[in-house]
Amino acid sequence: MVLPLGGPSGRKVRKMSGIALIQTPSWGVSSPPVALAQLSACLKKAGHDAKVFDMNVFLYGNRVERYRNSWAIEQSSFWCDPRNVERFFTDNTEAINKYVRRIAAAKPRVACFSVNVCSWHSVLRTAGILKKELPGVTVVIGGPSFLVPFEPRQYLENDEIDIIVRGESELTLPELAGRIGGKEDIASCKGLCFKRNGGIVDTGERGEAADLDALPFMDFSDTPFDDYDPPGHLGRHIPIMTSRGCVQKCVFCGPRGYWPGFRSMSGSRICKEIEHHAAGDPGIRRIEFLDLLLNGNMAVLTEFCDLMAGGTLRGGLQWHANLIIRKEMTLEVFRKMKSAGCTHVTFGIESGSQRVLDRMKKRYGVGDADAVLKNAHEAGLKVTCNFMFGFPGETREDFSQTLRFLERNKKYITMAYPSRTFCTIEPHSYMQEHMDEFDIIPNPEHGQYWVSRDGTNTYLARMERCDEFSRFAGSIGVDIGLGLETSYELDRWLSLGNYYCCIGDVGQAKECLRKYLVLDPSNISVQKRYESLKSGLRGS
């Protein structure tokens, strides 16, 4: 691919003949990729032809037994290992080539891939195959991996990759497509990195799409809704993201690195988008809000609920949302939400200890949580509460306060979800950047395996605390959310096997992986790791 070298001509830009927006493994399989649906709408609004290809859900639907669990969220690290991805592409050559030929048949001049930490290796392999099928196609990558600081050379050193879109893409990608289509220089297009004359050109940051109301409605015209595998409580649904960022500053939160502030659509804009999709697909029964929180702006939430409750959709669509604890969440507000179709809310409670909440910078009081959960329950909503275990500095007494919180609020909590990663040091979080402040000794290979400086807070200690929480919840009649797509036993043995392999305890690692394979003998990646350990290697 040769990038345009000339300067701006001043004439009207000739639009692209075709742009492919591609999602490769691994991504979720319960909902279509909303980012690509949004980008498709932005490109079409700018006059470009665009088509979304969800290769991820296609391969999930055609997976063979040995890869049955490879899309489970708890096994997503499978896709981070290039050896696993190479094996997968070899074993699934026919299905992959079939899908790439489908993309090539659309004759796109630009192929855009969404990249996250679990999809990079599959993106690289797919881009290489596509370039053989469609010589001259320009490969553009963007997505979550480029919303945070990154080193462009590690991506652009691959011949398969031509351009990186850095930051949010809704404004950059349509301009880039127009410049390529008009054979104009892309160097003046903000928000890009690309190769030129043996070096790398960085055109600088473009900035955020500040006015989310100005975005066009997402384009789901290419979405194979029947191919998705939603949990039972969702059914046929539309995922929507109405805001970016969060008003909280929790120290453990990685997504704050993507969006340091908070922006939201207006309540009327949210309602109009829902009406648009409901009119286009009468089979839709639910809306799943993907926002980190839906109550970041109380005026927006109130406006949205009033419009939904009083509009033509009343009594029809149902929805779920993530919320934060805040005093403004009164019984009246929850009743508004119920009237607007809300059936289920989720709170990140994390701990019942005020001391721990303050260390997390959660910015709410335990008493506030008690009141809010009661209000949600009395309004008739299902309530899920998430909990973490072993936050740095958490004592036995702190944990006991969490158990007491659970018991005190058991009649208000529909489901308690214990985090199966316990307390992870997430990339780009405040905690990762200030580990000395939290007396953490990190494990260089994995964010889950950190140890406190005094040696008492370990991965195994956090696992035991999670197990104790689950046992206690069962003893007082609180339902426990598994939060897994396989099973507790499979996750336990694989997690322990990975942990022991990481710290170099080969004997324990072999035993845990052996127990895993008794339950899931066809899992090819676990088989290979176990065989490597038996051969005296650390694992592959």
Residue 201 pLDDT:
96
pLDDT at 538: 56
Q: How confident is the model at residue 260 (pLDDT cuts 50, 70, 90)?
A: confident
The letter for the amino acid at 192 is L
Rounded CA gap, 463 and 419, in Å?
10
Enumerate residues 6+ apart whose C-beta is below 8 A from 93.
none
Distance from the first to the final alpha carbon of the chain? 35
Q: Give Cα 335 to chain centroid, integer Å.
A: 30
CA 26 to chain centre: 10
The whole-number pLDDT of residue 208 equals: 79
- CA pair distance 117, 194, nearest whole angstrom: 20
DSSP string across 302-315: HHHHHHHHHSTTTT
Please provide the DSSP assignment of 454-523 as one string: TS-S-HHHHHHHHHHHHHHHHHTT--B----SS-HHHHHHHHHHHHHHHHT-HHHHHHHHHHHHHH-TT-
At 477, is the pLDDT very low, low, confident or very high (cuts 50, 70, 90)? very high
Residue 28 tokens read as 């979720």
Write down the pLDDT at residue 6: 34
pLDDT band per the 50, 70, 90 thresholds, residue 142: very high
Write out 404-432 in H/E/C secondary structure. HHHHHCCCCCCEEEECCCCCCCCCCCHHH
For residue 233, pLDDT over 90 is answered with no
Helix axes 506-519, 488-503, angle to 10 degrees: 160
CA–centroid distance for 289 within its chain: 13
Name, in order, each residue with C-beta under 8 angstroms of 359's C-beta and a sequence gap of 6 or more.
251, 391, 392, 393
More confident residue, 422 or 208: 422
Query: What pLDDT does residue 9 have?
Result: 33
Angstrom distance (rounded) from CA 381 to CA 515: 40
Percent pLDDT > 70 in the chain is 95
For residues 345-369, give the mean pLDDT. Answer: 97
- Cβ neighbourhood burial of 299 (10 Å; 0-12, 13-18, 19+): exposed
Q: Which of 102, 104, 106, 100 is nearest to 17 (CA)?
A: 106
The pair of three-digit structure tokens given for residue 283, joined into one six-digit string: 């089979």
Domains of the chain plus CATH, in order, are 19-202 (3.40.50.280), 233-483 (3.20.20.70)
Residues 3-40: pLDDT tens digits?
443 333 333 444 545 999 999 999 999 999 999 999 99
Please tell me the pTM assigned to this model: 0.92
pLDDT in tens, 429-447: 999 999 999 999 999 989 9
Provide the pLDDT for residue 499. 96
Q: Is the model's pLDDT at 386 over the cut of 50?
A: yes
**Mean pLDDT over the full length of the chain:** 92
Which of the two residues, 100 and 261, has the higher pLDDT score?
Answer: 100
332 pLDDT band, cuts 50/70/90, is: very high
With contact defined as beta carbons under 8 Å apart, do 166 and 201 qualify?
Answer: no
For the cut 90, the answer to whether the pLDDT of residue 139 exceeds it is yes
Query: Is the pLDDT higher at 198 or at 330?
Result: 330
Q: What is the mean pLDDT of residues 229-245?
A: 87
> pLDDT tens digit string along 262-294?
999 999 999 999 999 998 888 888 999 999 999
3-state DSSP call for residue 286?
Answer: strand
Over residues 54-72, the mean pLDDT reads 95
Partners of 201 in the β-ladder: 194
Statement: residue 2 has pLDDT above 60: no
1: pLDDT strictly greater than 70: no
For residue 452, what is the enclosing H or E element? strand 446-452
Using 50, 70 and 90 to split pLDDT, how confident is the model at 312?
low
Based on its alpha-carbon atoms, the radius of gyration of the chain, rounded to whole angstroms, reads 24
More confident site: 232 or 407: 407
- Distance of alpha carbon 195 from alpha carbon 201, whole angstroms: 6
The per-residue pLDDT for 313 is 58
**Residue entry with tokens 């004997």:** 507
pLDDT at position 207, please? 80
- At 5 the pLDDT is 34
| Tens of pLDDT, residues 503-538 | 999 999 999 999 999 999 999 999 999 999 998 765
Q: What is the pLDDT of residue 537?
A: 63
Over range 184-196, report the average pLDDT: 94
pLDDT confidence of residue 43: 97
